[in-house]
Amino acid sequence: MNETKLTSIVIPTYNGLQLLVPCIESIRRYTEVPYEIIVVDNGSTDGTQEYCIQAGLTLIALPKNEGFPAACNRGLAVASGEQLLLLNNDVIVTPRWLSNMLRALYSADDVGIVGPITNYASGRQQVDMTWNSLEDFMQIAERHNQSDPAKWQEVKRLVGLCFLFRRKLWDMVGRLDERYSPGHYEDDDYCYRARQKAFRLFISGDTLVYHEGSVSFASNHPNDWKALIERNRRIFIDKWGVDPWIFM
């Protein structure tokens, strides 16, 4: 039973303690299968390291902000699980989130990456929904998250905010490309490489998670953010000769 093997959850974070705490708490409350949490701190100055140590989490404290892909790679290097999962610090997980996704992941030998549906994400994982409060959202998720293969959907690209993949895929595809630092399109790039190795990608439509969608960088530095998106899109196009948008 692969579902009972360990899942390593890697959470890069930077000065996001207020988001990180509920994220961790939700994992602890709603994960029914074996897991380990590895927080990769990108040089936070808001007490993140102290919280992680006090909460008994495995922590990789980097001296300065190395961006999302580099932080992911550090965490994945230390991860020992048979399954690996990248998680944004502004995601709150929901009942049966991981067991549902694992079922999709191991439904066939060539399924390599699985992602959930959520209230906010670029591409096909975002669903239209309304909710009043976080508690309300959690109740919706509780009702919704019943494992259902009919809701699994094969896609060509998944977002990195909640990104579950096999160790075998990690061994074959390798690390995230750090040229995309500080972030954006490294997930598209990884999905492209995974498909090149004949892996399939699924959205597990039976798994709804909450994404706060903090866009502090984007909102604080909108022009820089747009420039970053464009630069990274260019990197993808130069690498693969196609526009990442066509896979979204």
Partner 1 sequence: MLRKRRLAGGARQRARDSKRPVRRVLNHPNPIVSIIIPAMNERATLPGVLRETCRVHPRSETIVVANGSTDGTPAIARKWGARVIVTEEPLGHDVGRRVGAEAARGRILLFIDADMIIPATELRPYVKAVSEGVDVALNDYSGPLEGREIHPVVLAKYSLNSLLGRSDLKGASLTAVPHAMSRSVAEAIGYEALEVPPLALVAALLRGYKVRAVHSVPVGRMNPIKYRGRQEDPLTGLIVGDHLEAVHRLILERGSRGGYSDLGRQRDKVR
Partner 2 sequence: MSRTKLEKPIGPRRSAVRAQDRSRRKRSLPLLKAGKGTEQGRTEIGELEQQAFLAGYSAASGHEDSSLSYDHLQSAFLDWFKEAKRQALSWRNILAVSSAYRRGYNTAAKQTLTGIPLPLRGTVSAVVSACNEERTIAAVISELIRLPFREIIVILNGCKDRSYDCIRRHDKVIVVCCPDRLGHDVARGIGASLAAGDAVLFTDGDIVLSAEDLAPLLLEIDQGADVVLNDISPYLPPFSKQDAVTRSKMFLNYMLGRPDLKANSLTAVPHALSRRAISAIGARTLIVPPKAQALAIVKGLKIRAPKPVDVVKRNRLRSGNVGEGNEVASLILGDHIEAFQAAMELQGARLGMTKMPRSKLARKRNGR
Least CB distance from residue 171 to partner 1, whole Å? 9
> Minimum CB separation from partner 2 for residue 74, in Å?
6
1, 63, 238, 241: which one binds partner 2 (CB under 8 A): 63
Residue 84 β-bridge partners: 8, 165
Angle formed by the axes of helices 68-78 and 186-196, nearest 10°: 50
4 binds, among partner 1, partner 2, none (CB under 5 to 8 A by kind): none
From the list 151, 156, 167, 239, which residue makes contact with partner 1 (rule: CB under 8 A)? 167
Site string for partner 1, 78-117 (x = CB under 8 A): --x-------------------------------------
* Count of residues interacting with partner 1 (CB under 8 A): 3
Rounded Cα–Cα distance for residues 118 and 161 (Å): 10
User: Do 75 and 66 contact (CB within 8 A), yes or no?
Assistant: no
Distances (CA, A) of 39 to 16, 166, 168, 242: 12, 19, 22, 33
Smallest distance, partner 2 to C-beta of residue 58, A = 5
Question: Is residue 3 helix, strand or coil?
Answer: helix
Binding of partner 2 by 21 (CB under 8 A): no
Backbone dihedral region for residue 198 (phi beyond 0: left; psi -120 to 50: alpha; all else: beta): left
Where do contacts with partner 1 occur on this chain (CB under 8 A)?
Answer: 6, 80, 167
